[in-house]
Structure 1
Amino acid sequence: MKIAFYTDTYLPNRDGVVTAIMNFRRALEAKGHEVFIFASGSRKTKKENTDPHVFFHLAAPFKPYPQYKIALFPFLSIPKVKQLGIDIVHSHGMATMGLAADRAARTLKVPYFGTFHTLIPHATHYVAGNVKPISKATERIAWEYLKWYYNRCDVSIAPSNVIRSLMEEHGIRNVQVVPNGIDIERFNPKVDSGPIRDWWNLRKKKVILHMGRLVLEKNLEVVINSALLVLEEEPDAMFLIVGAGPAATYYKHLADKKGVGNRFIFTGFVEDKWIPNYYACADAVVVPSKFETQGLVTLEAMACGKPVAGADYLATGETIRDGIDGFLFNPDDPEECAEKIVMALNSKRKLRTNARKTAEMYSIERCTERLLALYEEMV
């Protein structure tokens, strides 16, 4: 089959959506299918692109959230999808490129899929600020738009059961669950931790890792507020915060204000090739986010055999079995967060083994088989 992925975010950006797209592309191509990616991008990105299966459409930054771009002429993709003879259109975003996906599927009269990657109604602060009445109204409008958009798809895909339930509660029909798979060969318990521990002088420290973009919805604040409590129990602990984002300065200042700035290392942007090594250097991984539709960080960490202390909220709360393959805490409770981080640091081998087994259930091969089964039902 020839499959067109449409997305509002793609390389050189790195986020969970981009990772999911790249993983599915590799797995589908390994099975003999062709995947073409239509994405928004800058003039520079478009000029430097050398991948014949990727087509960038000139876009302007979305100022409230620069990671996403607004494609200026997304419908110019239509002649190309006609020329390629696309069999399936699969949208991985619901903004301008998502609208182009809708038009492409209808023009070609081919099956149309849409994955619900991002919980936009929970990120309305980028538009409405912290004014509650405006934020609530914006949230309602966002859900109305998402209902309209995904009900135009032949099949809507949720990455987790909890997100499927949320979609159905808001009137979205024909929802199927297909998790975003992970590369369990790349992320494994045997990855070398030495380079990262040496680089950051962490050889004799207990490392608590947070991986991901530094944005307010990732809720890193609860981890910073829990740090003094963790240090009372684990005086050699260090918090390694991997990633960049618009909230980085806020979180750094908060750590200093709480008197724990010297126990937090903010790495900034890290090259993708080093990500498995960062997981490897961790003694525990913390995932406090209240924004996860699935949470690839949780699964990647578990694939590396790392104990995860995660927010008992949305998809993270669905993935982790508390006390069996990880630990769950109330994302608004710093004391419980600290307690579960300490438990993760001192977890037994059996829990770490269970974490790896859980992650294996989400291998990209398994998830791709499920996705292909849905494609084949519609072709």
Structure 2
Amino acid sequence: MKIALFTETYLPYINGVVTHVKALHDGLEKLGHEVLVVTVDTHAHHHYIKDGVLYCPAKELKKIYNFGLAAPLSGKRYRMMKHFKPDIIHIHQEFGIGLSGALIAKQLRIPLVYTLHTMYDDYLYYIVPQKMIPLLKRISHRYFKFLAKSANALTGPSKKVQEYFDMCGVNKSVNVVPNPVELDVFNPSSLNREKIASIRAQYGIQPEDTVVCFCGRLGKEKSVDVLLDYWAETVKPDDHLKLMILGGGPSLPELQAQAKALHIEEQVIFTDAIQHEDLPEYYGACQLYVTASLSDTNSISMKEAMATGLPVVHIKDPLNAGQVVDGVNGYIYENAEQMYSIFKKYQAMTPEEKEALTASVINSVKIYGCEALAEYLVGVYEDAKKEKEQKHIKHRRRVKRHG
């Protein structure tokens, strides 16, 4: 098959969607399919193809880091896609490029697959003032409903996507496709031990310290403020516990101020943004991964940490149930005391028990490689083609009856 993947962001930028699309691209090519990624270039003045990527001119949105907005209508883009002759168009984001993909699929009369990666209701505060959020929520729900109705198949990383589409009034079932992880990149056996030692030394981490980390773009929706509150409530200075927050973002200054106000600044490490290629060693410098976020849909950062061997301490989240199984690849908590109890339980384990848990965690993510993701989505593409063909047959019958 020839497959076009439409995404507003792509390499060299890194986020969950980029990681997903890159893994899907690599997996599809390994299976023998031809793939064209369609994305934006805020520095380009014309459309161009380089290394299997169609770059489209776009305006940079300064409010949203590393995000560019392309015009959804472009004759040049349409002609380039017509020349490529895709069998499937798969959109991964919903704005200039995503809408363009939906419109081109309709013009070329080919199946459209739509993956919703983001629970946008949790991110509207980036765009408008608080008092405008209810109105924007209603408008955005209608827009997502339009895109979903245009698609022949819907996918998403967790059951949260089904709930979100239901809330938008979409009467379609969602194929739950868990996010992938680059198993070779985050393989603990390939970590640079000298670099790990250097990271621990850089941040003054002692050999007896247990480091608990979180990784992500620091916005309100990630609930790192909750982690800091819980930490201050329970963790004592002599517990030999450190909290390492990996990542930058708009909330970083206020989180640093919060840690100081809570008098836990000596126990909390803020690294700011970390290059993707450095992440494996940062995870290697830690022992546990913790999150209080309820906005994530099958977090890629969490899975990367698991691939490196870190058990996950996850706040209870019914719609992401099953991703973390108590005692298998991590532990679930509901409040500060339970979170702290898990930390202390881990510290009390013998080296053999920790080693067995690490092996279990790594084993739990082995099913999330890029080829497994591609194989599943090829099945979704085949179903989308059948659904499109059935619609075409029904349309021809209606025309014949009324002709």
Same fold? TM cut 0.5? yes
Flag the structure with more relative contact order, 1 or 2, with Cα contacts below 8 A and sequence separation at least 6. Answer: 2
Q: Tell me the equivalent position of 1:217.
A: 221
Indicate yes or no: 2:339 matched with 1:326: no
Please give the alpha-carbon distance, in whole angstroms, between the structure 1 residues aligned to 2:364 and 2:319.
14
Equivalent of residue 242 in structure 2, options 225, 238, 241 = 238
Contact 1:58 1:73 (8 Å CA) reproduced:
no
Unpaired runs of 5+ residues, structure 1, are: none
Distance 1:354 1:62, change over 3 A: same
Q: Tell me the equivalent position of 1:364.
A: 370
Distance 1:139 1:194, change over 3 A: farther
Distance 1:206 1:145, change over 3 A: same
5 Å matches for 1:170-249? 170-172=168-170, 173-190=172-189, 191-201=191-201, 202-204=205-207, 205-229=209-233, 231-232=235-236, 235-249=239-253
Task: Between 67-76 and 139-148, report the one with greater CA deviation.
Answer: 67-76
Deviation at 1:78, TM superposition (A): 1.1
Distance 1:65 1:329, change over 3 A: farther
Q: Secondary structure at the match of 1:279?
A: helix
5 Å matches for 1:5-154? 5-43=5-43, 51-72=50-71, 75=74, 76-131=76-131, 134-154=132-152
Deviation at 1:309, TM superposition (A): 0.7
Contact 1:286 1:341 (8 Å CA) reproduced:
no
Please give the alpha-carbon distance, in whole angstroms, between the structure 2 residues aligned to 1:252 and 1:316.
29
Please give the alpha-carbon distance, in whole angstroms, between the structure 1 residues aligned to 2:65 and 2:159.
29
Q: Tell me the equivalent position of 1:293.
A: 297
Q: Secondary structure at the match of 2:218?
A: coil
Q: Tell me the equivalent position of 2:314.
A: 310
1:285 maps to amino acid: Y
Distance 1:305 1:234, change over 3 A: farther
Please give the alpha-carbon distance, in whole angstroms, between the structure 1 residues aligned to 2:238 and 2:50.
48
Deviation at 1:368, TM superposition (A): 1.5
Task: Between 76-85 and 63-72, report the one with greater CA deviation.
Answer: 63-72
Q: Tell me the equivalent position of 2:340.
A: 338
In our comparison, the structure showing a higher alpha carbon Rg is 2
1:249 maps to amino acid: P
Contact 2:219 2:249 (8 Å CA) reproduced:
yes
Give the alignment's TM-score, normalised by structure 1: 0.90
Indicate yes or no: 2:383 matched with 1:373: no
Contact 2:27 2:373 (8 Å CA) reproduced:
no
Contact 1:181 1:365 (8 Å CA) reproduced:
no
Task: Between 345-354 and 158-167, report the one with greater CA deviation.
Answer: 345-354
Deviations 1:16-75 (A, max 9, x none): 00000111111111112121111123116x89x983311222222334423432213653
Deviation at 1:153, TM superposition (A): 0.6
Contact 1:162 1:318 (8 Å CA) reproduced:
no
Task: Between 194-203 and 366-375, report the one with greater CA deviation.
Answer: 194-203
Deviations 1:143-187 (A, max 9, x none): 222122112111011112343244235432142122222122322
Deviation at 1:283, TM superposition (A): 0.8
Give the alignment's TM-score, normalised by structure 2: 0.85
Please give the alpha-carbon distance, in whole angstroms, between the structure 1 residues aligned to 2:234 and 2:64.
32
Contact 1:283 1:345 (8 Å CA) reproduced:
no
Deviation at 1:140, TM superposition (A): 3.0
Contact 2:162 2:173 (8 Å CA) reproduced:
no
Q: Tell me the equivalent position of 2:357.
A: 351
Deviation at 1:316, TM superposition (A): 4.3
Please give the alpha-carbon distance, in whole angstroms, between the structure 1 residues aligned to 2:26 and 2:348.
37
Contact 2:211 2:241 (8 Å CA) reproduced:
yes
Distance 1:150 1:228, change over 3 A: same
1:270 maps to amino acid: I
Distance 1:170 1:73, change over 3 A: closer
1:339 maps to amino acid: S
Deviations 1:284-305 (A, max 9, x none): 1112212111111222222222
Task: Between 232-241 and 173-182, report the one with greater CA deviation.
Answer: 232-241
